Structure 1
Amino acid sequence: MSGRDVIGIAKTGSGKTAAFIWPLLVHIMDQPEIKPGDGPIGLIVAPTRELCQQIYIECKRFGKVYGIRSVCCYGGGNMHEQQKGLAEGCEIAVATPGRIIDHVKKKNTNLLRVTYLVFDEADRMFEMGFEYQVRSIANHVRPDRQTLLFSATFRKRIERLARDILTDPVRIIQGDVGEANADVTQIVEVFKSADMKWRWMTSRIIPFTSEGSLLIFVTKKANAEELATNLINEGYDVALIHGDMQQYDRNNVITNFKKKQVSTLVATDVAARGLDIPSIRNVVNFDVARDIDTHTHRIGRTGRAGQKGTAYTLVTQKDNQFAGDLVRNLEGAGQRVSENLLQLALQNQKFRKSRYQHGSGKQISFRTRERPGFGSSSSR
């Protein structure tokens, strides 16, 4: 509210979206009115279409009372409709990195009036290869802006970004940096074979869906399609979402899942970020995540806004390297580590060596920002 730059490190489901929307609305009401052809006052950059859409819905809902207009811009959406909304004038633009750069380069909008800049889930944008675009956007916005950087984790690349684009920031940490949501009970099941995983899954679907909606994560698209097909053939009520689906189809799947027209959703990590559905009571990682950050965001799809949820992670002998990450993750959240999981993790030499070694934190220094030109784009 005081105009300071902010680093926000918060677990998933902690309500950080409202934390940057409300100050943005106050900020906008203190600015001269937008005229047709002006660019937005607030720019919110998020990694995925789904997250952009959800932030846009909240901006529209809260801003409507004050006559504040929002536009949502993402790759795969209707470029003409986005262009029209920007041209008519909007106080808030919610966008993926590549798409907002496309609009600026096509002169559909400009960033001259942006004085409130938000990067949400910056760690995810880096994972998706958007670091260059993120830096280009930050460097193309006027230096007297207020910048808010949000991330569920605070790895070295995010630390460097914070140094480069923030000025004397307030640092707000909700929980321990990078920890899993303590409102989510984590249970790790260790299996000897993939067949045992399948039998476990089919024996749990009915109990899980009797408690609420069920979200099942699979790492690869082909495996997700196979799992969803097999479950449907067994007579279960299942929908599927992955990154190669058309945006219209993805939106329909998410809408049906939100409305509880389908009880179980099999998803690749395209749905891991920003999917905010209160009815999800159980999450199953049928395949382990690529890394522990992705795992943290997966399980954060349940236990939202202080509610309780349960996340199950299914591992086999080939997952011994990731098992060590799971052990540290569970211990960081104060949750039980089973003997089976610990023994699996100890099969990995790197984990054995590091088991009782502890690193020390680093101090972060910040410099004033510079403003070079725009870089290349990649629509998302």
Structure 2
Amino acid sequence: MTNPTFADLGLTKTISTALDQLGITQPTPIQAQAIPPLLSGRDVLGIAQTGTGKTAAFSLPLIQLLTSSPITVKPGQPRALILAPTRELALQISDAIRTFSKGSRLSQSVVVGGVPMGRQVRDVARGIDILIATPGRLLDLISQRHVRLDGCDFLVLDEADRMLDMGFIHDIRKIVALIKKNRQSLLFSATMPAPIQRFADEILHQPVRVDITPETITVDRIEQHVHHVAQNDKRALLTKILGDPALSRVIVFSRTKHGADRIATQLERAGISADAIHGNKSQNARQKALNSFRSGQSRILVATDIAARGIDVDHITHVINFDLPHEPESYVHRIGRTARAGTQGIAISFCDETEYPLLREIEKLTRRTLDLAGGTPPSGPVASIRSARSGKSGGGGRGGRTGSSAGASRGHEGAKRHGAPAGQNPRRPQSSQRRATASR
């Protein structure tokens, strides 16, 4: 089936019509591959990152399955459980389900930390079909006997790799042990490291594997540039780059919470509207920052990797890696936020001398050399290794035009766009295309 419709996937006319009214007419690859087995009752192991449509991939069949067998819900006993690593992602999932299930009688509640527990207790006490939760707060409610999971027929684990990074794996095992064995389960993860694979083997029963790699995102739709810059000069360079109004909606990634706050403060002092979002912020502060960024009131959102997992904002023009991530898979996940729903995007990375090994790991994973936008790579043995590797593959990025980096005739324009001094041309891309991959 080349271009299936949602009806072709087995969704009811009611749901398909509702999607049409929302302007959602064509399933994404993750939806096309995950929805049919879920509707047939199979467990699913999905490898896909944010921006691929995975929330709809599990929420649409879940809504159909729940509405096709309506039962009277019992106080504190949800029929379906969705676990997410962060408050923002849990709220995003809740909003999507509310939109997709409009007109049905399905009830849902969100249980997350950082907010008073009283309202959450009252919500689950009324009886709900779908419970969306972060692991820590859910265990609190379970220990206080406000929630029971023995009647739960469906389990969804979203962003499993991030939950592992955040140390939730033991909490999740406790939660899963409380759910009945003959459930239907789905696990989504942006990457599939060995611990996640082992965990998936534990909780899933003969799952259908759906692997939507980020190849087309990292290679086909995102320009990727690097500035080699000293750590102490990064903030000045950031301010200079963001002085260009063409960078109209930007996420800046910081490795630490403190660093995110400092960057946002520096930008505000320079007259550039910016907000920071990270785990130390209160729920109200994080939601306020997201709403400001989504509405365009704030051009810049400075985020840490964990907090960014819940950011669902379209039309992000640029991603700037102020700090390179320690895990190259996180780089893939970061830059995918500027190429959502088939759009183009630009990713700019700052690399100081100590981060050079991280850059090499990123280029090894994505099988692409980032285009040079400014500065000079470190000299010495490390640079020689990189030069040899680049030379073996032809040197540069993928073939064809790569935005403003596509040749000397547009060098001045490209330098201005990516923050390089006038007259300094980015490196030409490679003549041969090199595909990205989702995991090591």
Q: What is the TM-score of this pair, normalised by structure 1? A: 0.85
Aligned to 1:108: 146
Structure-2 residue corresponding to 1:247: 283
Task: Show the 5 A alignment for 1:219-298.
Answer: 219-298=255-334
Deviations 1:308-330 (A, max 9, x none): 21111110111122122111233
Secondary structure at 1:66 match in 2: coil
Query: Structure 1 pair 113/345, CA: closer, same or farther in 2 (3 Å)?
Result: farther
- The AA in structure 2 aligned to 1:213 is R
Of 213-222 and 27-36, the range deviating more from structure 2:
27-36
Q: What's the offset of the Cα at 1:351?
A: 8.7
Partner Cα distance (1:119, 1:103) in 2: 18
Letter in 1 for 2:313: I
Per the alignment, residue 198 of structure 2 pairs with: 160
Distance 1:199 1:205 in 2: 10
The residue that corresponds to 1:79 in the other structure is 117
Partner of 1:375: none
Aligned-pair identity in percent equals 34
- CA 1:342–1:39 in structure 2 vs 1: closer, same or farther (change >3 Å)? farther
Distance in 2 (alpha carbons) for counterparts of 1:182 and 1:121? 24
Match of 2:344 among 308, 313, 329: 308
Relative to 1, partners in 2 of residues 1:41 and 1:35: Cα closer, same or farther, differing over 3 Å?
closer
1:235-259 per-residue CA deviation (whole Å, 9 max, x = no partner) reads: 2122222221211111111111111
Partners of 2:199 and 2:79 in 1: CA distance: 22
Aligned twin of 2:234: 197
**TM-superposed deviation, 1:164:** 0.6
1:155, CA displacement in angstroms? 0.6
Counterpart amino acid of residue 10 in structure 1: A
Supply the AA of the counterpart residue of 2:185: T
Identify the match of residue 347 of structure 1 among 364, 382, 385: 382
Matches within 5 A, 1:56-71: 56-71=94-109
Measure the CA separation in 2 of the matches of 1:341 and 1:174. 35
Q: Post-superposition shift, 1:336?
A: 5.0
Checking the alignment, whether the CA contact within 8 Å between 1:238 and 1:265 is kept in structure 2 is yes
Kept after mapping to 2: 8 A contact 1:327/1:341 = no
> Cα distance 1:163–1:344, how it changes in 2: closer, same or farther (>3 A)?
farther
Compare relative contact order (CA 8 Å, sep 6+) and give the higher one, 1 or 2. Answer: 1
Q: Distance in 2 between matches of 1:131 and 1:63?
A: 30
Aligned to 1:98: 136
Range with bigger deviation, 287-296 or 96-105: 287-296
Asked if 1:122 corresponds to 2:160, the answer is yes
Structure with bigger gyration radius: 2
| Per-residue CA distance 1:43-81 (angstroms, 9 max, x = gap) | 100000010010011111222321111100011122111
Q: Indicate if the aligned counterparts of 2:152 and 2:180 stay in contact, CA closer than 8 A.
A: yes
**Residue of structure 2 equivalent to 1:29:** 67
Give the structure 1 partner of residue 355 of structure 2. 319
Q: Which amino acid in structure 1 is aligned with residue 274 of structure 2?
A: V
Could you say what secondary structure the match of 1:154 adopts? Answer: coil
**Residue identity matched to 2:261:** E
Amino acid at match of 1:347: V
Aligned pairs for 1:136-215 within 5 A: 136-175=174-213, 180=218, 182-191=220-229, 193-207=230-244, 209-215=245-251
Mapped to 2, the partners of 1:56 and 1:135 lie a distance apart of 23
How much does 1:306 deviate? 1.8
TM-superposed CA distance for 1:91, in Å, is 0.6
Structure 1 residue 85, shift from structure 2 partner: 0.8
In the alignment, structure 1 segments of 5+ residues that lack a partner are 357-380
Which residue does 2:415 correspond to in 1?
none
Cα displacement string for residues 7-65 of structure 1 (whole angstroms, at most 9, x for unaligned residues): 00013310000000001011112334233415111110000001001001111122232
State the Cα distance separating 1:163 from its structure 2 match: 0.9
Secondary structure of residue in 1 paired with 2:170: helix
Kept in 2, the 8 Å contact 1:72–1:82? The answer is: yes
TM-score (norm 2): 0.74
- The more displaced of 215-224 and 310-319 is 215-224
CA distance in 1, matches of 2:386, 2:159: 28
1:20 paired residue number: 58
The Cα of 1:347 is off from its aligned counterpart by 1.4
Secondary structure in 1 aligned to 2:122? helix
CA, structure 1 residues 37+315, in 2 after alignment: closer, same or farther (shift >3 Å)? same
Q: Hey, what's the Cα distance between the residues in 2 that align with 1:341 and 1:180?
A: 24
Q: Tell me, what secondary structure is at the counterpart of 2:242? A: helix
Separation in 2, partners of 1:89, 1:263:
41
Query: CA 1:275/1:185 → structure 2, altered by over 3 Å: closer, same or farther?
Result: same
8 Å CA contact retained: 2:159, 2:188: yes
Give the secondary-structure state (helix, strand or coil) at the position aligned to 2:382. coil
Give the CA deviation at 1:270.
Answer: 3.6
Work out the CA distance in 2 between the residues paired with 1:64 and 1:181. Answer: 37
Once the two structures are TM-superposed, the CA of residue 265 in structure 1 deviates from its matched residue by 1.5
